[in-house]
Amino acid sequence: MTDYNYNNKVATALGTIGTVLWCVQLIPQIYTNFRRKSTEGLPHLMLLLWAYAGILFGIYFLVQRPNLPLMIQPEIFTFLSFVTWAQCLYYGSKFSFIKTIVVVSLVVAFSAGLQVAAIIPLQNSALCHNSPNSTCWPLILIGIMAAVLIVIGLVPPYFELWRRQGQVVGINFWFLALDCSGALLSFASLLFPQTDKDGNPKQEDYLGMVLYLLVPLMEAGIVASHFVWWLRIGRSLNKSHTDVEKGRERSR
């Protein structure tokens, strides 16, 4: 017999840890951009697509209501994505500060309105997942769209890798590590069968599992690309740089 009380606690704990990681995942990237005063190598399109994926994630999970941390998580993800996208406009596209604020504010306002407008009509049909009369295909479609945007958003970095022979430039590895960890913990939280507030077993959220697996898989490819670049090129560059420094020291 499934201990749903235990499962609910474990799922909430894992989801909470995942949410905490996702609360800070983009902060290293934001700090790196600020310190460098540049977003070179960080695709602007990736952040905008991620922001809208977060909007769709928010609709999906706020209607689905798996657990509180997973309902909050997409909103934080969206906020951080918009902040980083604003840096891309300011540092990369050379927008003025005022223009950046205006553009980002308008996009955020539109996105918030879109999310609210989608959640209200979906709640009545999607909250009854366990009812045979429920019609949840719009929610499933939204979840699929979110997954597609996440995947598409991670495609531009691969073009950057191709341009730079596989080297990662401008993307903070702590950001990738935190992002992957948060996604995997959120995925793990969905593996435990849970109950709703009335004590009824919730339907397995397979779509949510897929969504949280896509991120670490795509980001692992980015890390692997940089590692291969280091083996092929970066290691020899470091050796050459070291030899030059030693030569300078001897000539002094």
Share of the chain above pLDDT 90, in %: 40
| Number of Cα atoms under 13 Å in the Cβ half of residue 85 | 21
pLDDT at 246 over 60: no
Mean pLDDT score of the chain: 81
pLDDT for 31: 95
Cβ-based neighbours of 48, under 8 Å, separated by 6 or more: 81, 85
pLDDT at 5 over 80: no
- Relative orientation angle of helices 97-126 and 137-153, to the nearest 10 degrees: 150
pLDDT for 235: 78
pLDDT at 139 over 90: no
Q: What is the CA radius of gyration of the chain?
A: 21
pLDDT digits (tens, 9 = 90+) for 218-230: 889 999 999 999 9
pLDDT at 250 over 60: no
Q: What's the token pair of residue 203? A: 């339907």
How does residue 193 score in pLDDT terms, banded at 50, 70 and 90?
Answer: low
pLDDT digits (tens, 9 = 90+) for 97-132: 999 999 999 999 999 998 988 888 777 664 444 444
Lowest mean pLDDT across 130-134, 156-160, 207-211: 130-134
How does residue 61 score in pLDDT terms, banded at 50, 70 and 90?
Answer: confident
